[in-house]
């Protein structure tokens, strides 16, 4: 896994939709699941970021992001 993705998802903001402006790492899992029900994540970098945070939240690994969030402050 490219750790740069983790660094990005704790600062990048959702560019559209209901949660526009919300940091990707802070998106609720219900919103990420909505994407899956509607056909999947968008293509490209945003889709990879959303898929990554979905897997992290699905597997209860959000604590992995805490040191990265703290470093970014």
Q: Tell me the pLDDT tens digit for each residue of 10-21.
A: 999 999 999 999
In degrees and rounded to multiples of 5, residue 40 shows phi and psi of 115, 175
Residues 26/67, Cβ–Cβ less than 8 Å: no
Given a cut of 70, is residue 1 above it in pLDDT?
A: no
Domain range spanning residue 64?
Answer: 3-72
Q: How much is the average pLDDT of 27-34? A: 97
* pLDDT, greater one: 5 or 27: 27
Q: Rounded to an integer, what distance in angstroms lies between the CA atom of residue 55 and that of residue 35? A: 13
Least confident residue range of 31-40, 49-58, 59-68: 59-68
Average pLDDT of span 62-70: 89
- Give how many domains the chain has, as a whole number: 1
């Amino acid at each position: 896994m490219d750790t740069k993705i983790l660094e990005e998802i704790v600062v990048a903001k959702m560019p559209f939709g209901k949660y526009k402006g919300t940091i990707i790492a802070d998106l609720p899992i219900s919103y990420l699941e909505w994407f899956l029900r509607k056909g999947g994540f968008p293509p490209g970098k945003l889709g990879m970021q959303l898929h990554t945070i979905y897997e992290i939240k699905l597997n209860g690994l959000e604590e992995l992001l805490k040191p990265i969030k703290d470093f970014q402050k």
